[in-house]
A and B are shown apart, each in its own frame.
Chain A
């Protein structure tokens, strides 16, 4: 008797997810960001694809609405790149859920992504995924603090050489 976990990815669940995404438009509208129903459906499909690609399964509404609500006030988002950025963010999110060994909660990971995206990455998704989140995942795996940086060590070593090295 096979109990297929995919039963949860049925049409009913997808429709519910699309509705939840559409509801986010109420908040994002004031930032000039709106998604059509077709775009919302595409996002839900991307979510399913990303989950499958990363060997994960999701119950309930998922994180699309959380990502939208967090990122909608970003100065680097406009109607031109809104949908495309959301697709990328979704895929990056699930990839780094695995890479961080589930050590961070959804909210904390989204918060970290938003800070890095608006701050040091200046709206670059490549820098976000390839550098900042990569560093975060490595730090968590090695048991360092999430914002730990190798640069600090190099600096410490230089200082040691300068003052106390023999």
Chain B
């Protein structure tokens, strides 16, 4: 019987977490807990408080203020009062406090509560900075370290308690409640903290390889790191992979696909809950972190349901990738000849009437790809001649040239010489004329060519 809750006349879910005080007054008025006169008095008290705050805001120098600034000050007052009223166990008690304590007292209590929140959030932030996930993702660090520091620097609860100031680009996994000011930052950091705690169960290297499987250039992507890590951990348990290393065999996707195919969202959630139970035992997670993970499951179940339908389950359960093991080709363009000698050969080639003579000269005098590249750019060859010379080269040389002269975008063209653009176009034409298999091989070779020494 101890758990029986008092029935509240105002339902908590009808109140806005963003504009709590305003929605509380609205609901209280609708529930006839506040009369017209009481409501008018509350409004007048709020505006009197606004007048007082305006005077402080202007440091007593100005009796008037812009309407927008007055609205911001009023929003700050409302938010501050709302922060205090949220601390009451139920909305009815909050309404009783509004009637009994008066606006000034509520505002003062709210200010004290915001100061406490600010202190505790700063402490949480320091602890998060000390235990960041070691990742190269730029958004993760720039938001959690620099962004939040920027918030603390600019946050001014006296006159703008409701402001967030930053955009908090890095997304957390949970759908963030609509909150303002310090409440938003506190909630955001709490989510980040839980996600960090979970990711810290795995080595930074394993997380890095997993994220490489998500995208090799994940450093520049704006995405939540916790989601693929949690999905991979669940996938490992379900398919018999190594949870501690987040490593699944390529055949695991088939196993998972068979497991989830034809299941409803509720059935998928049930499977996930059971799996997370095993995961929690394996990783020895704390109670609040368990709750956070459990709350993440409906979203993951939704992803799985869609992925099964679209046959993209490999994008939910990511297989790790090891880019350092990729084959690398290093190609040297060779040394350039003496300038004087090059000029003579170039002049001679340009004076040749026939392509056969030009090719003969190139074959006899040019011995490095670096020199050939210069000739292709400087000898004022037409398209037909260039293509003919390219046809004499071996695939590795073509790949090296394609790597150095890819098809330029419309914007890049502005920075290139006419002869460079012509060479790019000839190379693309040359590639297009090759059989499809050879084109694919050439593309692979271009990707693998990592560094070209000149």
Contacts and interface: CB of A to CB of B under 8 A. Distances in A.
B67 A59 contact: no
Contact of A56 (B22, B66, B74): B66
Given A3-B47, A5-B71, A59-B55, A106 B29 contact: no
Contacts of B47: 3, 5, 7-8
Given A1-B26, A60-B51, A7 B43 contact: yes
Contact of A3 (B62, B65, B74): B74
Nearest to A52: B67
A51 B64 contact: yes
Contact of B67 (A5, A94, A102): A5
Given A59-B51, A59-B55, A5 B66 contact: no
Given A8-B51, A57-B67, A59-B55, A3 B78 contact: yes
B63 A102 contact: no
Interface string A75-117: 0000000000000000000100110001001110000000000
B38 to A, nearest CB: 13
21 contacts: A1-B23, A1-B26, A3-B74, A3-B78, A5-B47, A5-B70, A5-B74, A7-B43, A7-B44, A51-B64, A55-B67, A56-B64, A57-B64, A59-B55, A59-B63, A62-B64, A102-B62, A102-B65, A102-B66, A106-B61, A106-B62
Of B63, B74, B78, which is in contact with the most chain A CB atoms at under 10 Å from its CB?
B63
B25 interface: yes
A4 B70 CA distance: 11
A97 B64 CA distance: 9
- Range for the number of chain A residues in contact with chain B: 20 to 34
Contacts, number: 68
Nearest to A5: B70
Interface in B54-97: 54-55, 58, 61-68, 70-71, 74, 78
Nearest to B74: A3
Interface of A: 1, 3-5, 7-8, 51, 55-63, 94, 97-98, 102, 105-107
Given A1-B26, A55-B66, A102-B62, 18 more contacts: A1-B25, A3-B47, A5-B67, A8-B51, A55-B67, A56-B66, A57-B65, A57-B70, A58-B63, A59-B50, A59-B55, A59-B64, A62-B64, A94-B64, A98-B66, A102-B66, A105-B61, A106-B61
Contacts of B78: 3
B383 to A, nearest CB: 56
A44 to B, nearest CB: 14
Contact of A97 (B25, B43, B62, B74): B62
A5 B65 CA distance: 12
Contacts of A51: 64
